[in-house]
Structure 1
Amino acid sequence: MNGGVNGGDDPIRLAAVDGEAVPRRGLKAVLESNVINHERLPMLEVVCERMVRLFATSMRNLTSDAIEVNLEAITSVRFGDYMDRLPLPAMFGVFQVKPWESYGIVIVDAGLIYGIVDALLGGRGGMRSLPPEGRTFTTIESSLVSRVVQMALDDFARAFEEIAPVAMGLERMEMSPRFAAIAEPSNAAAVASYSVSMDGRGGTFSVLLPYATLEPVREKLLQRFMGEKAGRDRIWAEHMASELYNTQVTLDVVLGEKIMPLREVRGLEVGQTIALTIGPDDALQVHCGGVPLGRAHIGQRSSNIAIRMATDIAKGYPK
């Protein structure tokens, strides 16, 4: 047994004993844990479900085949572990979410790659054996698949419209996961996996988004799904707006201001006159709750003191 002492009486086991693995402890256990604890994002699930309908329609229009798209799972993974477990050959489409200046990956497996190529080049469909392992993808295959990947990204961006307006642009297609490293291996990421069936041919593709990429809209993704408005209750919002417009407020018209020593203020008597610098034709400040709203002229109407606004009402009008 190899061991060491960290300043205490208990040794820290660093190697296996009699062929049995020693449990990992402390920070090492946290960093190397396969369990990803991350808060659930309900609206991300809604976005991924909408992607199914949009992408199926786009694929039908592109291939004129009977297309079936299904959302298999939405999981949280460590970026490095997930990329290491992916079966090869595959294509990795690295894309940028332009408003957020962040990146994601679309992973397309070999079955779907050859299914897309067969469909776009006029194949008759049906199950066919895959090319031998180790064969690289041609330029034509990469070009056709990149076209479909960009179409999928456009549909994914449309599915995101209720959350935030985004634009997803494909930057490059890679054949090796080593060249598609957009995050640190220990970073957490959300992966939505889809299966695509095209008249007996097809495969799977996945959309990987690091949680760092989703951070700008994290608060919106945490909302509960309520109808097609992404958790926003339109009726309640309209009711609140109408009640606010009917709220009565008290306005104060400032006739003038003068700075006086406390000694003079304490010496004021009934009937004493305070001279102000404001003229009868000058515009006066209008306040609401101490907040200046604008300026108005004072006058008389129907035996009542009245004011007429001389400027538009603006919150935070300078004093």
Structure 2
Amino acid sequence: MNMRAAPPTGQSTDIRDLLLDAAGLSLDKLPMLHVIFDRMATLCAESLRQLASSQAYYSLSQVESGRIGDVLDSYEGMAIVGVFHSPEWDSHVIVGFDRDFVFSMVEVLFGADGSEPPVDDERSFSNIELRIAIALFEQMAKALQGSFALVSQVSFKFQRQETRMDFAVVGRRNNLAICAKFLLQALNRGGEMFVLIPQGALTPLRQQLASTTAGESSPRDPIWTKHIRGEVQRTEVRLRAVLEEREITLGEAGMLEVGQILPLQATPRSRVKLESVEQPLFWCSLGQAEGSYVLRIEEAVDLDQEFIDDILPR
């Protein structure tokens, strides 16, 4: 009788992992990746706002899968990359800036107003540009860490900077990787930033990255929520105080003349409705102070009652 030894415990799981690694990660099944990289764009914009007076915007343009060598070759001679090490993932990650990104960022950080034409030069990067890139890479490490905190407590340590893509080695060049591309817009110009992460580093996180499915809401980003709340609160709105409203016919409106007096039924004791964008907000009382009319808010408008009053005949 032929007998076959049973595989050790856990061996089947290891085989499945190897098969998944060979096939590559399916981006369609990892919706959290887009959430993470969207958050990274927000964090990058927040960090840049503290360094520059000009407004600059980051936006995620695409997330794709490809071979490490193919992605790097497409930026050969036109980008600066930073190589980071993640001890928790036991892997390396690349962040890259193309020429337009670097030139635009230099102008933003040095206070340019965008009046000069964009730099269109194939020269090598200057020492100042390289040093600025290193400072930006440090910011990118913090943004990456804050973004991936949604699914993993991970850190990224900046190791070195490269301008030749064949020196930016983070694994075998034919290994699969996830590449996220971001657009920078500032001073009527911009550039591209990319993040390259080997798929092997993300494979252990595939369950967490697949946690957001269709129909489920994405995790709330506290930094983005705070930013939105701040922008909304700074928005200017126009208030209107309505003492009395009257309906007239189109014929009566056509007979109005300059200098004509329209009698009102309202008195100084009548309540005034405070509105914004034709939305009733508060009932107020009218008064005077230091030679000007003033309003004192008394109570909020009951919108349900207002609706009933509008539809019922008077």
Partner of 1:215: 203
Partner of 1:48: 37
Aligned residue for 1:63, secondary structure, equals: coil
Partner of 1:195: 183
Partner of 2:103: 114
1:119-134 correspondence to structure 2 within 5 Å: 119-126=108-115, 128-133=117-122
2:151 to 159, 163, 184: 163
1:224-243 correspondence to structure 2 within 5 Å: 224=212, 226-227=216-217, 229=219
Mean Cα deviation higher: 67-76 or 210-219: 210-219
Aligned residue for 1:100, secondary structure, equals: coil
Asked if 1:151 corresponds to 2:176, the answer is: no
Supply the distance in 2 between the matched residues of 1:37 and 1:163 (Cα, whole angstroms): 20
Partner of 1:39: 26
Aligned residue for 2:136, secondary structure, equals: helix
Partner of 2:46: 57
Supply the distance in 1 between the matched residues of 2:153 and 2:179 (Cα, whole angstroms): 21
The aligned amino acid for 1:49 is D
Supply the distance in 2 between the matched residues of 1:174 and 1:128 (Cα, whole angstroms): 27
2:125 to 109, 134, 137: 137
Supply the distance in 2 between the matched residues of 1:215 and 1:87 (Cα, whole angstroms): 28
CA contact (8 A) 2:95 2:137 kept: yes
1:86 to 55, 64, 75: 75
Partner of 1:97: 86
Aligned residue for 1:71, secondary structure, equals: strand
Deviant stretches of 4+, over 3 Å: 225-230
Aligned residue for 1:95, secondary structure, equals: strand
Deviation (angstroms), 1:37: 5.7
Supply the distance in 2 between the matched residues of 1:54 and 1:183 (Cα, whole angstroms): 28
The aligned amino acid for 1:141 is E
The aligned amino acid for 1:39 is S
The aligned amino acid for 2:79 is A
Supply the distance in 2 between the matched residues of 1:170 and 1:126 (Cα, whole angstroms): 34
Partner of 2:171: 183
The aligned amino acid for 2:139 is M
Deviation (angstroms), 1:219: 2.2
In the alignment, structure 2 segments of 5+ residues that lack a partner are 1-22, 221-314
In the superposition, the TM-score normalised over structure 2's length comes to 0.58
Q: Deviations over 1:284-303 (max 9, x none)?
A: xxxxxxxxxxxxxxxxxxxx
CA contact (8 A) 1:94 1:172 kept: yes
Supply the distance in 2 between the matched residues of 1:125 and 1:39 (Cα, whole angstroms): 41
Larger radius of gyration between Structure 1 and Structure 2:
1
Aligned residue for 1:185, secondary structure, equals: coil
RCO comparison, higher one (Cα < 8 Å, 6+):
2
Deviation (angstroms), 1:229: 4.4
Supply the distance in 2 between the matched residues of 1:200 and 1:126 (Cα, whole angstroms): 9
Supply the distance in 1 between the matched residues of 2:145 and 2:116 (Cα, whole angstroms): 32
**Taking every aligned residue pair, what percent have the same amino acid on both sides?**
29
Supply the distance in 1 between the matched residues of 2:138 and 2:115 (Cα, whole angstroms): 25
Supply the distance in 2 between the matched residues of 1:140 and 1:124 (Cα, whole angstroms): 19
Supply the distance in 2 between the matched residues of 1:90 and 1:229 (Cα, whole angstroms): 33
The aligned amino acid for 2:194 is S
Supply the distance in 1 between the matched residues of 2:156 and 2:115 (Cα, whole angstroms): 32
Supply the distance in 1 between the matched residues of 2:133 and 2:193 (Cα, whole angstroms): 11
Count, aligned residues: 194
User: Residues 37 and 131 of structure 1: is their aligned pair in 2 closer, same or farther, counting only changes over 3 Å?
Assistant: same
Supply the distance in 1 between the matched residues of 2:99 and 2:192 (Cα, whole angstroms): 9
CA contact (8 A) 1:105 1:207 kept: yes
CA contact (8 A) 2:41 2:60 kept: yes
The aligned amino acid for 1:139 is N
User: Residues 94 and 126 of structure 1: is their aligned pair in 2 closer, same or farther, counting only changes over 3 Å?
Assistant: farther
2:160 to 147, 172, 184: 172
Aligned residue for 2:88, secondary structure, equals: helix
In the superposition, the TM-score normalised over structure 1's length comes to 0.57
Q: CA RMSD in A?
A: 2.0
